[in-house]
Amino acid sequence: MATLEGSCLRRNLKQISHISPSDAGETWQLPVAGKSEIAVLCATAEKALSSWRELSAEERLKTLHKFGRSLKESETKLVEFLVHDIGKPVSYARAEVGRALALIAAADKQLLPAFDVNSRRTSYRRVPIGVIALISPFNNPLAIPVGKIVPALLYGNAVIWKPAIPGSRVAKATAECFARATGRPELMPVVFGDNEVAREIMEVCDAVTISGSLKAGCAAQEICSRCHIPLQAELGGNNASIVWSGASLAEAAAAIVEGAFVFAGQRCTANRRVIVDATIYDAVLEKLIAATGMISWGDPRDENTQVGPLISSASGQRVQAVLERARSSAHRVLTPLKKTNPQCGEQWVAPTIVCCDDPHSEIVLEETFGPVLVVQRARNWDEAIALCNGVKQGLVASLFSTSPELVDDFLRRAQAGILKINSSTADAAVDLPFGGWKASGIGPPEHYPANHEFYTRWQAIYFPSAGRGR
């Protein structure tokens, strides 16, 4: 998963700037938030909660729908920022805006009477937490935070949002849409800065929701433990698909390749590994190579592009170093795409397949967060399950099979928060819980119907009653 910051950061005491991965040109400069500014924003947001909570949940929902319409009106600008600032191919940038709008639409399902903080008719209820610190990554700088902002506000909270530096301009535009649509900018201020700013926000808020690297999640966990506040952390995945005999190999290969390489593999749900029945290994590898050779690699502004640059030259150097160590370990490293580097810069890494049967190899155990797919051979079904579960992460796992018995066994034994049948690990629905097991997550999952678990907490109310005792 993406770290809190990309290495495209340039910082002095007062401002940050960002370098576009597409053209290596500096795109903007923004002020770094100071500790006193953060304290004022938090106090202002907390003060605004009183009037926000006086509204019914239905009224808050109407306000969020206004926010959605404002985002839709700004779609062209948001897509432009996604393409230029993070190198997301334009068709996938539009899809991200669409996902953000779908997350807002999904809020309708979350209106339940027990979640209305104005309820006076029950002896127990769920009430909002307060001001939520939102720390978001660069790779989905619109959809991921919107998926957190909407339930937080719907349930009567406020949000202070610290985006990863490459996503700062998207965040600024999103906050402007919110302020314009709702007239309540104090409920969702955005602050810019680096890891130190993120820590300062977490230390003054009432809860933290973060998407980022395992390192970032552990840092947040330490702060939340010390401050005695709730944490929700989505920390990426080293996701595997199992391909077993009887499956449609061509369809499996096409789905896995797309899931592995789109947006240069910079997705937490990307298909990192594929575990193959040894009896069909050669046939599956051949189809994976053929499908990879058909990937469109190039300018993210091109409608046909599937794979653009990594977020920074440092990310490209890191991925290339991992691949070089794989070569040094005698693993087979393949780059089926014949097209040469579309542009200059180390951030351009071609989609790469690595054949590795060593379950203890770095290329297997560590999430590359780049356009790399590792192919592993399994001698039997039990070994396939062991390989699938044999990493520290547990976000998504998938199985390609036509056997009901194997599907049932996979559903019983796969150790991941999201399981898929006959599709790649990539992507997730907006109306199902999204969260990982093991090192892939801390705290409750995201999205409906799980949102209330994090953004509200139980409160029991005792009304006068004769004869009650303990």
DSSP secondary structure letters along 395-442: SEEEEE-S-HHHHHHHHHH--SSEEEESS-S----TTS-B--EETTEE
Which positions ≥6 away from 76 have C-beta within 8 Å? none
Is there a domain that residue 46 lies in? yes
Answer yes or no: is pLDDT of 9 > 60: no
**pLDDT 10s digits, 335-383:** 998 776 667 789 999 999 999 999 999 999 999 999 999 999 999 999 9
Check whether residue 57 and residue 176 sit in a common domain: yes
Q: How high is the pLDDT of residue 40?
A: 96
The values of phi and psi at residue 332, to 5°, are -80, 120
Check whether residue 310 and residue 197 sit in a common domain: no
Closest CA to 311 of 78, 93, 24: 24
The C-alpha atoms of residue 47 and residue 35 are separated, in whole angstroms, by: 19
Burial string for 260-269 (b: 16+ CB within 10 Å, else e) reads: bbbbbbbbbb
Domain ranges, residue 249: 239-421
The C-alpha atoms of residue 428 and residue 169 are separated, in whole angstroms, by: 25
Number of domains comprising the chain: 2
461, burial (CB in 10 Å: exposed 0-12, middle 13-18, buried 19+): exposed
Output the average pLDDT for the chain.
92
Is there a domain that residue 146 lies in? yes
Which positions ≥6 away from 73 have C-beta within 8 Å? 177
Scan for tokens 């290329």, then name that residue: 363
User: Which tokens in the block code for residue 315?
Assistant: 């990310």
Q: How high is the pLDDT of residue 448?
A: 83
User: Strand locations in 154-257, DSSP E?
Assistant: 158-163, 207-211, 231-234, 239-243
**pLDDT 10s digits, 33-64:** 999 999 999 999 999 999 999 999 999 999 99
Check whether residue 219 and residue 273 sit in a common domain: no
User: Which tokens in the block code for residue 381?
Assistant: 């079904």
Helix, strand and coil content of the chain, in percent to the nearest 5, comes to 45, 20, 35
Check whether residue 263 and residue 230 sit in a common domain: no
> For the residues 209-224, what does the mean pLDDT come to?
96
Is there a domain that residue 320 lies in? yes
User: Strand locations in 178-220, DSSP E?
Assistant: 207-211
The C-alpha atoms of residue 337 and residue 347 are separated, in whole angstroms, by: 17
Answer yes or no: is pLDDT of 282 > 60: yes
Within 10 A of 111 (CB to CB), how many other CB atoms are there?
Answer: 14
Return the CATH number at 349.
Answer: 3.40.309.10
Which residues are paired to 334 by β-bridges? 353
pTM for the whole structure: 0.93
- What band does 469 get if pLDDT is binned at 50, 70 and 90? low
Q: How high is the pLDDT of residue 10?
A: 39
Of the chain, the percentage scoring pLDDT greater than 90 comes to: 85
Q: How high is the pLDDT of residue 114?
A: 52
**pLDDT 10s digits, 165-189:** 999 999 999 999 999 999 999 999 9
Is there a domain that residue 466 lies in? no
Within 10 A of 180 (CB to CB), how many other CB atoms are there?
Answer: 14
Q: Which of 18-27, 212-221, 350-359 has the lowest mean pLDDT?
A: 18-27
Highest average pLDDT, of 2-16, 326-340, 416-430, comes from: 416-430
Is there a domain that residue 351 lies in? yes
